[in-house]
């Protein structure tokens, strides 16, 4: 958005916190000029592979009363962007630029990812969107029908047949989707002995739920909270 008066590094290896499902994203680095308040804004490659070519630009708008001022930045083009490397696509001074609504678009060429066009929504001020997330986990396959996914009802029925433990009808165990989302770490679902493991995906937009038996064999997994609840409900004693 702004041409810096002092030269920023065009490329640098970035010290970022590893997020397993974040592949390509926008990040800021305030260490470029710590005394000026100017941040370098970088597109960061966390795919695990070198990107052959990256073309990135910013866009956005600012409003003042009834007027809207749009802007479209010029493309910044880089070749052979290494894994863990950031390439400079913008520079901002948050105190000055905080009222702008900004977004980023990128065209990527990579033998591993193919040709991609990525574009974020717009966000206000110091906005650092993820342009590409890793794919969410695939559903489990039905062992009796490899071309179908395993349903939560069948997964629960298989466990009940092999284990014999179920949730007694007299036990008032009520678990809603909020309970499933807000839980942390591993926990046991008594008295059936099933272990529930939660892993947050995509900046907590999804919860990956895994269910294991007492031998730590996986019974079912899903990112759909309705399916997770259906699996637990299917473990109850069926009324006569």
Q: Report pLDDT for 4.
A: 45
Question: Given this model, what pLDDT does residue 23 score?
Answer: 94
73 in the same domain as 120: yes
- Same domain, residue pair 124 and 161: no
Measured CA to CA, the distance from residue 25 to residue 214 in angstroms comes to 39
Looking at the structure, do residues 16 and 67 belong to the same domain, yes or no? yes
Q: Which domain holds residue 46?
A: 11-133
Same domain, 196 and 225: yes
**Cβ 61 vs Cβ 100: under 8 Å:** yes
Positions of the chain with pLDDT under 70: 1-8, 15-19, 33-34, 97-98, 125-126, 167-179, 181-185, 237-240
pLDDT, position 16: 67
pLDDT at 49: 92
- Which of 114, 133, 152 represents a domain boundary (last residue)? 133
Q: Tell me, what's the pLDDT at 96?
A: 73
Is 238 part of any domain? no
Q: Let me know whether 94 and 166 are in one domain.
A: no
- Write the pLDDT tens digit of every residue in 120-153: 998 876 678 999 999 999 999 999 999 999 999 9
How many structural domains compose the chain?
A: 2
Task: Evaluate if pTM is beyond 0.85.
Answer: no
Q: What CATH number does the domain containing 41 carry?
A: 2.60.40
Strand ranges for the chain from DSSP E: 11-13, 22-33, 38-45, 51-64, 67-72, 76-81, 85-92, 101-110, 114-119, 123-124, 130-133, 141-142, 145-149, 186-189, 194-201, 206-212, 218-222
């Amino acid at each position: 958005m702004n041409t810096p008066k002092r030269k920023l590094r065009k490329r640098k290896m970035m010290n970022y916190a590893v997020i397993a499902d974040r592949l390509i994203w926008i990040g800021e680095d305030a260490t470029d000029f710590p005394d000026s308040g100017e941040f370098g804004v970088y597109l960061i490659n966390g795919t695990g592979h070198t990107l052959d070519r990256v073309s990135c630009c910013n866009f956005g708008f600012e409003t003042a009363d009834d007027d809207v001022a749009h802007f479209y930045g010029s493309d910044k083009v880089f070749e052979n962007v290494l894994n863990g490397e950031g390439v400079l696509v913008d520079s901002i001074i948050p105190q000055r630029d905080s009222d702008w609504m900004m977004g980023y678009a990128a065209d990527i060429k990579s033998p591993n990812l193919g040709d991609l066009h990525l574009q974020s929504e717009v966000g206000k001020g110091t906005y650092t969107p993820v342009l590409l997330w890793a794919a969410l986990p695939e559903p489990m396959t039905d062992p009796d029908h490899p071309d179908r996914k395993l349903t939560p009802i069948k997964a629960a029925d298989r466990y009940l047949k092999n284990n014999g433990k179920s949730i007694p009808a007299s036990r008032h165990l009520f678990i809603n989707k909020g309970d499933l989302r807000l839980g942390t770490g591993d926990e046991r679902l008594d008295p059936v002995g099933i272990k529930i493991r939660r892993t947050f995906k995509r900046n907590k937009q999804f919860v990956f739920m895994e269910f294991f038996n007492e031998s730590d064999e996986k019974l079912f997994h899903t990112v759909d909270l309705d399916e997770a609840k259906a699996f637990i409900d299917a473990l109850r004693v069926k009324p006569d």
